[in-house]
């Protein structure tokens, strides 16, 4: 069926997405439970009906891993939920996760033709619905290959590469630094946005597939990189860009100045929101500032609200039109009473007599000409400095590559400290080593990291096939 | 793996734990540490690797708060839920000449493997161990074996000389040619030793123990200014040249979570270390 804009009835009835139940802001800032509660069976069917089943669906080309979106939605319409999930799982191993955290409004949903006249089909919510309510038991593959593959880093990128390579029958081992798989999904994105039980359910399937998992292994420290390169036929590095960046302004090492990573790691990985039942504490004061405006910034601000901060203020050097966070997170932060201070840049943290943060000295900014990225560059307004009292501040201005990477001997890095790869194949300067995800691109998104894992899996397969041919010749 | 095969109280509130972990043994070098977590609910606790032999790792832990107390109460046969290591950079071991090795309190534990290796490399070792009192002194017998001379100081004079390790160091620096100092202990001790080393133009290594969470460079809790540049002690250290460290800032940051931590003084030693 062609998208028929003239079918006035459909347009009138379905201009908006089927609403998803969410926890009321008043209630939710007092708990860490999930904010968005998901679709019921009826909701999902209703929403699926809105899909026009376009002959030439644009949504699919908007998905970095090309999920057959039209295909799975048609199955939902028919009530064949398991088939629908199977279709997604052909290309995306983590639907319950992606349904929750992908920036759909900039990807699949942005291209949906319904978006031209109202809201697009709620593709993310439907994906989440399937991931949450159905499961397909994964079995070890029937194919068998002798070659051993090591995956360094158990984030979305490494997990995706591992699944695809295991399906080809390889002997695959994931080495992960933390006690559990998930990467940022586990220690970065908070419980109220992505419950850790879901990450665990989706990553547990890796074991059913027969993937070996070695947690508590930091390659380059607890196991030398050279050893892995020697012992495995191919290696994929997906270690993320986990090291926090600091602005480095005076006062950075005062007490009560934190990185977003510290707050989020304590809360998410170590469950500090349940201190003292869990042993790891986290710090929170009534009046808190968070610097930045990305997903991480929103996550920290909303976490602090839940930990009991009365006044949380996000300080950003551009305006609300440039906010890089996912729209839903920005909206939710607003609903939860987070304050925003636009066009403002901190320039110094001021201490009290005990070397504890007392106030932040800021400067006003204005937007100048667009820079190379197309965004208008913020420029400080001379003489506009002012001082605001805060009891704590968290910097959420982005991550960089971890200096453990220096111990990956022989591996070529670029000038920003990320791994240098061939963009087509994701191969590094070491023949049997491939890399992708945040450690190649810098902080990006879950789905892009997964896309890189897929691409690398294809390249590794081709690489090992070629080697095998040479051997048998 | 990670099963405890020995746990002994070796001094006031100080426990020696030996557990199995072949991989750590295979890969660790002096100066490195590990992080262990007793169970799902526990904090991640960084501890220096004191010995590694035949797949057995030895650590020494002083009870200063909730997590160290929990660990000290574990029994032979219990296992740690998670152990990751070795972490951090290993020490710069080479031939320096005359070395003064200074251990304060439980700092003697991390100092021991470094001193042992320095001795093996042909250095002449003079050791100074400092403790609050005789009951808190650890590893003096092991230091005795590898040192040309071992000095002991206690704050109350119950063993060795009454006073601080710096009292002895001051004298030594006057009398002898010292090529390098290695100091591990409470931050304040390391700061004072560093001051003396700078005054006498002798290089000095210290090992920093700021608050850590992941220990892998991903949280920034352990950050410290080294020569005015932010470094993470867990991946860029833990050993640094004492003269490069911003001590006052580091010492103040140690108390970041004080409100949440119970005072260590609430804990009483359960072993009879008076027998020592
Ligand atoms: C707070 C926060 C919120 C975010 N919100 C969103 C969102 O809503 N939507 C979205 O699409 N993206 C979001 N992102 C970005 C997204 O999470 C990342 O782009 C994505 O996780 C990158 O995946 P990765 O696999 O490359 O790396 P990571 O997820 O960082 O995983 C890397 C893994 O490697 C492990 N590792 C590191 N070093 C080693 C080593 N030496 N040896 C062994 N293992 C190692 C790490 O422990 C980690 O588990 C967010 C990021 C953060 C920090
Ligand atoms: C690289 C390194 C090596 C170490 N080696 C040893 C060792 O060999 N033997 C030993 O007894 N101790 C060692 N420590 C210190 C030990 O990790 C802490 O004493 C322990 O974590 C305190 O936990 P707690 O809950 O018992 O005390 P808490 O009540 O939580 O805190 C008491 C004090 O201990 C310090 N502390 C608290 N949490 C941490 C943390 N996560 N990391 C570091 N310090 C913390 C703080 O100064 C705090 O004020 C080392 C620390 C580091 C960073
Ligand atoms: S402990 Fe987290 S960065 Fe060092």
Domain residue ranges in chain B = 4-87, 98-255
Say yes or no to pLDDT of B263 above 50. Answer: no
Name the H helices within chain B.
22-27, 66-72, 108-120, 140-146, 165-175, 187-199, 233-236, 247-253
Model pLDDT, residue B267: 56
State the Cα angle at A13 between A10 and A18, rounded to 5°.
Answer: 115
Which secondary-structure segment (H or E) carries A370?
strand A357-370
Average pLDDT, chain B: 90
Query: By percentage, how much of chain B surpasses pLDDT 70?
Result: 95
- Topology at the third CATH level for domain A148-242+401-472: FAD/NAD(P)-binding domain (3.50.50)
pLDDT tier, B271 (very low <50, low <70, confident <90, very high otherwise): low
pLDDT tier, A446 (very low <50, low <70, confident <90, very high otherwise): very high
Does the beta carbon of B45 sit less than 6 angstroms from any atom of ligand 3?
A: no
Which secondary-structure segment (H or E) carries A74?
helix A69-77
Domain B4-87 has what CATH class? mainly beta
Distance separating alpha carbons of residues A151 and A460, to the nearest angstrom: 11
Ramachandran area for residue A225 (φ above 0: left; ψ -120 to 50: alpha; else beta): alpha
pLDDT tier, A303 (very low <50, low <70, confident <90, very high otherwise): very high
User: Strand pairing of A257-259 and A339-341?
Assistant: unpaired
Neighbouring C-beta atoms of residue B156, cutoff 10 Å: 12
Query: By percentage, how much of chain A surpasses pLDDT 70?
Result: 97
Under a CB-based contact definition with an 8 Å cutoff, are residues B102 and B183 in contact?
A: yes
Say yes or no to pLDDT of A378 above 80. Answer: yes
Q: Which residue of A has its CA nearest to B70?
A: A279
Tell me yes or no: is domain A2-133 CATH 1.10.10.10.
no
Superfamily for the A246-398 domain: FAD/NAD(P)-binding domain (3.50.50.60)
Model pLDDT, residue A233: 97
Q: Which residue of B has its CA nearest to A266?
A: B213
Does the beta carbon of B211 sit less than 6 angstroms from any atom of ligand 3?
A: no
pLDDT tier, B187 (very low <50, low <70, confident <90, very high otherwise): very high
Model pLDDT, residue A10: 44
pLDDT tier, A274 (very low <50, low <70, confident <90, very high otherwise): confident
Please write the tens of the pLDDT for every residue from A28-40.
999 999 999 999 9
Distance separating alpha carbons of residues A21 and A426, to the nearest angstrom: 41
Model pLDDT, residue A5: 46
- Tell me the pTM: 0.91
State the Cα angle at B146 between B140 and B149, rounded to 5°.
Answer: 75
Residue B170 tokens, joined:
């001051």
The mean per-residue pLDDT over the stretch B238-261 comes to: 88
Q: Cβ of B249 and A355 within 8 Å?
A: yes
**Of residues B113, B248, B220, B43, the one with CA closest to residue A262:** B220
Say yes or no to pLDDT of B61 above 60. Answer: yes
- Report the SS3 class of residue B178: coil
Model pLDDT, residue A245: 92
pLDDT tier, B233 (very low <50, low <70, confident <90, very high otherwise): very high
Say yes or no to pLDDT of A467 above 80. Answer: yes
Chain B residues whose beta carbon lies within 8 Å of the beta carbon of residue A397? none
* Chain A residues near any Cβ of chain B (below 8 Å): 177-179, 187, 215-218, 221-224, 242-244, 246, 248, 252-256, 258-259, 261-262, 265-266, 269-270, 275-281, 283, 354-356, 402-404
Residue B163 tokens, joined:
């006073």
Task: Provide CATH 3.50.50.60 ranges for chain A.
Answer: 148-242+401-472, 246-398
Q: Whose CA is nearest to atom 3 of ligand 3?
A: B217
Domain B98-255 has what CATH class? alpha beta
Task: Provide CATH 1.10.1060.10 ranges for chain A.
Answer: 2-133
Model pLDDT, residue B269: 59
Model pLDDT, residue A222: 86
Query: By percentage, how much of chain A surpasses pLDDT 90?
Result: 75
């Amino acid at each position: 069926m062609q998208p028929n804009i003239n079918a006035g009835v459909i347009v009138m009835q379905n201009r908006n997405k089927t609403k998803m139940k969410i926890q009321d802001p008043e209630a939710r800032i007092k708990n860490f439970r999930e904010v968005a509660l998901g679709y019921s069976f009826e909701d999902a069917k209703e929403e699926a009906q809105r899909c026009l089943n376009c002959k030439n669906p644009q949504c699919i080309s908007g998905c970095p891993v090309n999920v057959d979106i039209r295909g799975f939605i048609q199955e939902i319409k028919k009530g064949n939920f398991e088939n629908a999930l199977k279709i997604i799982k052909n290309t995306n191993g983590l639907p319950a996760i992606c349904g929750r955290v992908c920036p759909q409004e900039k990807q699949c949903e942005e291209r949906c033709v319904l978006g031209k006249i109202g809201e697009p089909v709620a593709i993310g919510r439907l994906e989440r619905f399937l991931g949450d309510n159905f499961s397909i038991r994964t079995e070890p593959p029937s194919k068998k290959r002798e070659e051993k593959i090591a995956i360094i880093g158990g984030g979305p990128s490494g997990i995706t590469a591992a699944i695809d390579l295991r399906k080809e029958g390889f002997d695959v081992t994931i080495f992960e630094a933390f006690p559990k798989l998930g990467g940022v999904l586990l220690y970065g994105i908070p419980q109220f946005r992505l419950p850790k039980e879901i990450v665990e359910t989706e990553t547990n399937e890796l074991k059913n597939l027969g993937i070996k998992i070695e947690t508590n292994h930091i390659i380059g420290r607890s196991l030398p990189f050279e050893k892995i390169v020697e012992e495995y036929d191919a290696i994929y590095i997906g270690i993320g860009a986990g090291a926090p960046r600091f602005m480095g302004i005076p006062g950075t090492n005062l007490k009560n100045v934190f990185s977003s990573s510290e707050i989020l790691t304590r809360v998410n990985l170590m469950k500090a929101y349940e201190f003292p039942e869990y042993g790891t504490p986290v710090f929170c004061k009534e009046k808190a500032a968070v610097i930045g405006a990305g997903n991480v910034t929103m996550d920290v601000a909303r976490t602090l609200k839940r930990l009991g901060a009365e006044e949380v203020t996000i300080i950003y050097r551009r305006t609300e039109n440039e906010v890089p966070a996912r729209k839903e997170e920005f909206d939710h932060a607003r609903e939860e009473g987070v304050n925003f201070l636009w066009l403002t840049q901190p320039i110094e943290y001021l201490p009290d007599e005990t070397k504890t943060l007392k106030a932040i000295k800021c400067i006003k900014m204005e937007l100048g000409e667009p820079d190379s990225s197309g965004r208008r560059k913020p420029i400080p307004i001379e003489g506009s400095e002012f001082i605001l009292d805060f009891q704590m501040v968290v910097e959420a201005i982005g991550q960089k590559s971890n200096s453990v990477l220096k111990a990956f001997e022989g591996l070529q890095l670029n000038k920003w400290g990320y791994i240098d790869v061939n963009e087509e194949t994701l191969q590094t300067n070491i023949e049997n080593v491939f890399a992708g995800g945040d450690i190649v691109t810098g902080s990006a998104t879950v789905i892009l990291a997964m896309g890189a894992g897929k691409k690398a899996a294809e390249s590794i397969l081709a690489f090992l096939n070629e080697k095998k041919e040479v051997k048998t010749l | 793996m990670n099963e405890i095969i020995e746990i002994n109280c070796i001094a006031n509130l100080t426990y020696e734990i030996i557990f199995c972990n072949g991989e750590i043994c295979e890969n660790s070098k002096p100066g490195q540490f590990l992080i262990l977590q007793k169970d799902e609910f526990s904090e991640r606790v960084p501890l220096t690797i004191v010995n590694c032999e035949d797949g057995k790792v030895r650590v020494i832990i002083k009870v200063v708060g909730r997590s160290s107390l929990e660990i000290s109460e574990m029994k032979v046969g219990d296992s740690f839920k998670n152990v990751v290591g070795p972490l951090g950079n290993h020490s710069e071991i080479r031939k320096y000449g005359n070395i003064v090795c200074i251990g304060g309190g439980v700092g003697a534990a991390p100092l021991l493997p470094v001193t042992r290796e320095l001795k093996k490399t042909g250095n002449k070792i003079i050791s100074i161990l400092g403790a609050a009192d005789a009951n808190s002194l650890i590893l003096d017998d092991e230091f005795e074996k590898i040192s040309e001379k071992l000095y002991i100081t206690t704050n109350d004079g119950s063993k060795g000389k009454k006073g601080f390790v710096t009292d002895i160091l001051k004298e030594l620096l006057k009398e002898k040619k010292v090529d390098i100092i290695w100091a591990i202990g409470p931050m304040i001790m390391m700061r004072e030793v560093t001051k003396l080393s700078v005054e006498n133009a002798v290089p000095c290594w210290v090992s920093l123990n700021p608050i850590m969470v992941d220990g892998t460079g991903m949280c920034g809790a352990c950050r410290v200014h080294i020569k005015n540049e932010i470094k993470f002690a867990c991946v860029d250290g833990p050993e640094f040249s004492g003269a490069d460290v911003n001590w006052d800032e580091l010492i103040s940051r140690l108390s970041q979570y004080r409100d949440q931590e119970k005072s260590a003084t609430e804990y009483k030693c359960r072993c009879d270390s008076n027998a020592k």
